[in-house]
Structure 1
Amino acid sequence: MTLAHFTTSDGLRLAYDDRGTGLPLLCLPGLTRNMDDFNTLLAPLAGRCRLIRMDYRGRGRSDHDPDFNNYNLLREAHDVVELLDLLGLARVAILGTSRGGLIAMALAAGFPQRLTGVILNDIGPVVGDAGLARIMDYVGKVPPYADLDALAEAMAVHAAAEFPGVPREVWRRHVAHWFEERPEGGLALRYDPALHKALLAQAATGALQDMWVFFEALKQFPLAVIRGANSDILSAETLAEMRRRHPVMMAAEIADRGHVPFLDEPEALALINAFLDTLPQGFSA
């Protein structure tokens, strides 16, 4: 099976992709991202595990939610559980990029019996203020470029401080995951712009807070963390505190990467494979 859809308990149609056999690894993307961000892993992990990817509600190929308040960690965590139930999977390992890592922490706290281990991609219990401000500034806004080629050219220039040396053609592959070209010209978001309203509402109620209590729930699982050396979301200080609280945690810092590493870097792939080696072999459900 590859791309498919399922219907949530509140009636939304969400997209997922399920391929391969063996140990199941569920890939959860970032806040405005979708399953295509994990295309970089399809070839390296082929034959290594059962790779499952999903688009949250309001992202990628999934339905938008008419109530933007449902764009929250707990509802999205429940969507994950409903997908696992549909697939008949008692437990999975999770690779969570940014928002996906926060959802993994929420699952560890609320549904620990569904997890075998977690990899966090450039996220921790504390979200850096500078990174959060940057996210709040761009979410819901369409980049002012004529097409994806122009956006890729701009990314190669404007993101050079955090991602030095990444060529335009690499950015072109990635921006096609996040935006699409409109027939009449210009770009469109591949997520619901109302996500910005959800972030503002959650900030006003204090819902956007550190998650050390949720991180503590990860102590019972194998844990690995990937950090972009130039990240403004996961600081070196937060990573150090995570190591202190979870001494056997595996970690890799990726040079010349900000938020978030692409996961095709040799150090990232080495850590993912080393993490998978720590999980029970032959485990499939």
Structure 2
Amino acid sequence: MILLLSCCCLLNTACGYLTKNDQQLVYARPAYGTDRFIRIQGYNIHYVETGTATGQQETMLLIPGAFSTYRSWNRMIPLLAKHYRILAIDYLGAGDSDKPASGFAYKIEEQADVIAQMMQQAGIPKAHIVGVSYGGLIALNLATRYPHRATSVVCIEGGVVKPDKLPHYYARKVLGWPLVGDLFVSAIRSGLFDTATTKAVMGEAWKDMSRKERQELIHIFAQNNKTASRRAWYLISQTLENSKDFVEEIKTLKTPVLYLYGEKSELRAMAEMNVRFFRTYLPEVEIVSFKDGIHDLELQKPREVANLILKFLGQGGNEIITSKHKDAAATPSPIAVP
């Protein structure tokens, strides 16, 4: 009986997310900036805006990775907002944005279409597009199919070349089973596994982090997990198989691209496949690897990544590197950052 009641409570938690957020509610106030909503294709899209919109200041869009929210950028937002108007987006299926139960498959090209329309409706002619993993793939797709919208692209471990296999196969499969998947997501949303999830994602980087950094990251993951949706997570996990291939189209891309990846990333093999592709077909792409970097560099090395982005965009960036981070953020080379 206790087990049955526990399962019922967990299922109730799993079904508690907002499929349609017409009231434009937010789970929690942002650490930086102001909550905003915009309605695109009948969907409510949530984003956080910060930075000074002077009319001369350029706009930068931040797109999080799979199973994340805009909060994944919290460690970088204050560093970039000094130079740009920042819009940190919850794409459809994430955070406080709608999580369509039907009619939207969370494919890369669908997400890119929504963001391009968002830019048009918000009066943003062009922007720097920064994305990590799933978000990086959206950024590259948007720049390829809407070149007039992208001033530049920064892609952290996203890519257009698909590997034969991806890690976490069984976890992705579980998400496809309605009852079992709902229990899995409800357990994630309950907060019981926030620390374990954070440690798993941060991998080898965890041992080198201070207590303060660990608490900050656990808080980010806890807030990300609270708005999880089984269907959205499942379809996002299938995105490489289900999204339209744009390998040929991207070969004509003229937009400046900075590509970052970690040599300790569990997806290093996929990242290096894309590095080889870029070097062959898009040799102008700037490529930087971090020798001790994991997949989520925006969480592990926010100052170093922000510094590279600002240098790439001609904004200098050295002023955000303190003596504590100086060695880790050495002068970037096209091969590696120690």
Q: Secondary structure at the match of 1:251?
A: strand
Check whether the contact 1:254–1:268 (CA below 8 A) recurs between aligned residues.
Answer: no
Q: 1:62 to 1:237 in 2, by over 3 A?
A: closer
Give the drift of 1:29: 0.9
The answer to whether structure 1 residue 130 and structure 2 residue 166 are counterparts is yes
Residue 173 of structure 1 aligns with an amino acid whose one-letter code is: E
Q: 1:122 to 1:146 in 2, by over 3 A?
A: closer
CA-to-aligned-CA distance 1:213-268 (integer Å, 9 cap, x gap)? 243243x0111011011223343343133233222222221233322212544432
Correspondence for 2:100: 65
Instruction: Count the aligned residue pairs.
Output: 268
> TM-score with structure 2 length normalisation?
0.68
> TM-score with structure 1 length normalisation?
0.79
The answer to whether structure 1 residue 173 and structure 2 residue 201 are counterparts is no
Correspondence for 1:8: 40
Aligned match for 2:235, one of 198, 202, 210: 198
Check whether the contact 2:190–2:226 (CA below 8 A) recurs between aligned residues.
Answer: no
Q: 1:200 to 1:173 in 2, by over 3 A?
A: closer
Alpha carbon RMSD of aligned pairs, Å? 3.2
**Runs of 5+ in structure 2 lacking a partner?**
1-32, 176-180, 316-338
Q: Secondary structure at the match of 1:174?
A: helix
Please say which structure displays the higher CA radius of gyration: 2
Check whether the contact 2:161–2:247 (CA below 8 A) recurs between aligned residues.
Answer: yes
Correspondence for 2:297: 261
User: Structure 2 matches for 1:1-285, cutoff 5 A?
Assistant: 2-9=34-41, 11-20=42-51, 21=53, 22-67=57-102, 69-128=104-163, 129-131=165-167, 133=169, 136=172, 141-142=184-185, 148=191, 151-152=194-195, 155-156=198-199, 159-161=202-204, 164-167=207-210, 169-180=212-223, 189-199=226-236, 206-208=241-243, 211-218=246-253, 220-233=254-267, 234-262=270-298, 264-277=301-314
In 2: Cα distance, 1:174 partner to 1:138 partner: 26
**Runs of 5+ in structure 1 lacking a partner?**
182-187, 279-285
Q: 1:217 to 1:175 in 2, by over 3 A?
A: farther
Check whether the contact 2:66–2:237 (CA below 8 A) recurs between aligned residues.
Answer: no
Q: 1:117 to 1:6 in 2, by over 3 A?
A: same
Q: Secondary structure at the match of 2:203?
A: coil
Query: Identity across aligned pairs (percent)?
Result: 20
Check whether the contact 2:49–2:86 (CA below 8 A) recurs between aligned residues.
Answer: yes
In 2: Cα distance, 1:259 partner to 1:275 partner: 20
In 2: Cα distance, 1:171 partner to 1:64 partner: 29
